[in-house]
Chains A and B, each alone.
Chain A
Amino acid sequence: MSKTAIIYSYNTQKSKKVAEKIIAAFGEKEIEAVNAEELNKEVLNKYDNFILSAPTWFDGELPNYWDEFVPDLEEMDLKRKSLPFSDWEIRKDTPRIFAMP
């Protein structure tokens, strides 16, 4: 059975609330929460499907914990992985705060 992770920083406010709502909607057995700040290749490899969440303050850039993981992520084989993006609060052009893939 494929496993799904919702990955977000446990230190966020809005991202955390939305993640919890998604988990509640699917049920805890369907989705596992993963703290983005503790993410590494090994953790990611445990799952098949991902919902990624990243609050992007100010100018829409990734938080450090995501950004610093990108070099590893670029080398991973994600062919059989499914990554629907959580994109709540995306506003037109350049919002102050929004979530992005």
Chain B
Amino acid sequence: MKDLKVPKQYTIKKTPKETLENWYRLMKIGRALDEKAPNYLKQAIGWSYHAPYAGHDGIQLAIGQNFEQKKDHLYMYYRDMLTALAGGMTSEEIILNGISKATDPSSGGRHMSNHLAKPEWNMHSVSSATGNHTLHAVGTARAIKYYGEKAVSISSQGESSVSEGYVYEAITGADKEELPVIFVVQDNGYGISVPKKDQTAQRKVANNFSGYKNLRIIHCNGKDVFDSMNAMAEAKRYAIEESKPVLLQANCVRMGSHSNSDDHLLYRSDSERNYVVEYDPLAKYRRLLLRYERFAEEELNKIDEEVKLEIKASHKAAMAAPDPDPASIYDHVFSDPFVSEKYPEGLHNEEGEKTKFITALNETLKAEFRHNPDTFIWGQDMANKDKGGIFNVSKGMQAEFGEKRVFNGPIAEDFILGTANGMSRYDKKIRVVVEGAEFADYFWPAMEQYVDTSHDLWRSNGKFSPNVTIRLASGGYIGGGMYHSQNIEGSLAAIPGVRIVYPSFADDAAGLLRTSMRSEGLTMFMEPKALYQDPKAATVVPDDFEVPFGKARVRREGSDLTIITYGNTTHLSLDAAKKLAEEGIADVEVVDLRSLIPLDEETILNSIKKTNKVLVVHEDKVFGGFGGELSALINEKGFEYLDAPIKRVGSPFTPVGFNRILEQAILPNKERIYTAAKELIEY
């Protein structure tokens, strides 16, 4: 349904001639590049992925022209070439991206072609997972609103992406929080070959959201420059002035195939293909310019010639640009960590009263919120009166820091993490802490955002670091069964770009949390929830304690065997070591890793050099657990020091049972560690 309240600010008759000329030039440059891109592939130069935008010209011009660099925030999808040009990128920059050069402003050749970005202008780097950036746009809009800026966050995407659950999470969240976001849905009728009738019952997917309270839905003709400009200008005005979201559905046609790996001849009829070409927005725009005598044919022909020359020059310059250096692959995997000057090894000798693990976390969170006013926390059950976090780790925070910095998230884990990513894009001074899920077991829906966020620094060639700490209550020993006992660090550790820490004691928990919250980058902070209240995990905690990443801690020194462990099993290992010592069997060294990534290889190898035997212990399953990596590392780098095979203790390859009898049969305990250690000693 047409929104008749959209003012006709732009018309063929009244728009200034220089504006019309600028639009025509941009559209011609865009189309020239769109048509030239496949030639680079044919010549084996590059640009192996190209999703042509022809047929989306009106709306893409409008998005770009309504985007204000360094003020608004723009998330483009892989078909948004004209959006990028209309937003200020040059033809040379587009080609640099297409042929993946080191000077490509989007990613330095690291990300797929056609994924355009210029983070320094707030044209953000996005993933290939369609619609995934919708959540980021919402998070950025949350920051825009918090800091009171008169700006807008724009998420541009195809209509099929709206089938993704996280897009619904994003739009629902923006509606609930009343955020200045424009979701632009460029509807060309297809998700690759899947027609939109196979995606959703409504022919216009925007109408699926007609019941939303604060969302304004605007439809426009994305093939028409003026209708698109008017719709986009009104969407922006509304989003900023009303501080509410807009869903702008732009009807487009896809004049070509989905991409150069697709062939639309296989599924589109001749008449349909003829129809979409007939509705070419660029040809229409040119006809209008001539029909209403705003330009003479000679004037347009002159621009056409100038565009040809520009493209030629851009091609030449881009071809001469350097390729990425293979030695650079390790650059920007991890962001810069906070460096502790006072506690470089993450050790202290403070004496005094012991603090529980949960109290150490709570007090550190509060201290860091006082230290940095641009720190935020949200998650499920985060704050409601006296409730503060599912386990009350954040108790009292909302009362002290207010509901704009400490607030509940919906039961939507992907939203929780995705908006954290988006909010941190607003300004690098921002630090976000999220309770990623009620329990680590429920983090899986957020995995697509986890993977995406892990890529951000590398993908943007160092231009964007998501400064986010994810807290997860992890592990078992609470009688929680298979959905309240999971250890997921083995799976997470397989993904580069995230630091993973897993403390066992209150002081290390405080020190690692402080370091996480002061560092740049993404940190997964795993909390063994069985230790929250456990006196064994309580320690003296210096007020300003800091534990650097990648520094293990020898919790018990010994000479006969090294146990490498972390989390809950640190305590079980210490108990087993104590028993072995008391029985006069062995003097066991217990190394608490504290950080899984980065890993303190030096402490591990130094210990093995001394003891010549090693037992790897963790709560997670032996098969596929992180201990497999530890064993492989020791085998590669410490084999010569060993007098016995590496042994592992962990859970069997089963879920965790609910009945305590089953739980005990599955999770590692002191006796199993003791037995395995004894076998190694006797080997």
Partner of B203, one of A64, A68, A94: A94
Range of interface residues on chain B?
A: 20 to 34
Residues 272-319 (chain B) with a chain A CB within 8 angstroms: 275, 278-279, 284, 287-288, 291-292
Q: Known contacts A59-B187, A61-B251: does B12 contact A67 (CB below 8 Å)? A: no
Q: Is A68 touching B291 in the complex (CB atoms < 8 A)?
A: yes
Q: Is A64 touching B13 in the complex (CB atoms < 8 A)?
A: no
Partner of A61, one of B189, B221, B287, B291: B221
Partner of B279, one of A64, A93, A94: A64
Q: Closest A residue to B288 by CB, please name it.
A: A68
Residues 36-89 (chain A) with a chain B CB within 8 angstroms: 57-59, 61, 64, 67-68, 71
Which A residues are in CB contact (< 8 Å) with B13? 71
Q: Which of A59, A68, A71 has the most CB of B within 10 A?
A: A59
* Residue interface mask B170-204, A partner, CB < 8 A = 1: 00000000000000000101000000000000111
Partner of B292, one of A58, A61, A71: A71
What secondary structure prevails in chain A residues at the interface with B?
A: loop
Min C-beta distance of A20 to chain B, whole Å: 21
User: How many A-B contacts if CB must be within 8 Å?
Assistant: 32
For the complex, give the distance between the alpha carbons of A59 and B204 in Å.
8
Partner of A59, one of B251, B284, B287: B251
Min C-beta distance of A9 to chain B, whole Å: 12
For the complex, give the distance between the alpha carbons of A57 and B288 in Å.
21
Which A residues are in CB contact (< 8 Å) with B224? 67
Min C-beta distance of A37 to chain B, whole Å: 12
Partner of B202, one of A57, A68, A94: A94
Which B residues are in CB contact (< 8 Å) with A71? 11-13, 288, 292
Which A residues are in CB contact (< 8 Å) with B291? 68
Min C-beta distance of B230 to chain A, whole Å: 13
For the complex, give the distance between the alpha carbons of A57 and B223 in Å.
14
Q: Is A58 touching B284 in the complex (CB atoms < 8 A)?
A: no
Q: Known contacts A93-B203, A94-B202, A94-B203: does B189 contact A68 (CB below 8 Å)? A: no
* Residue interface mask B95-137, A partner, CB < 8 A = 1: 0000000000000000000000000000000000000000000
Which B residues are in CB contact (< 8 Å) with A64? 278-279, 284, 287
30 inter-chain pairs at a CB distance below 8 angstroms, sorted by A residue, are A57-B275, A58-B251, A58-B253, A58-B275, A59-B187, A59-B203, A59-B204, A59-B251, A61-B221, A61-B223, A61-B251, A64-B278, A64-B279, A64-B284, A64-B287, A67-B221, A67-B224, A67-B284, A68-B284, A68-B287, A68-B288, A68-B291, A71-B12, A71-B13, A71-B288, A71-B292, A93-B203, A94-B202, A94-B203, A94-B204
Q: Which residues of A contact B (CB under 8 A)?
A: 57-59, 61, 64, 67-68, 71, 93-94
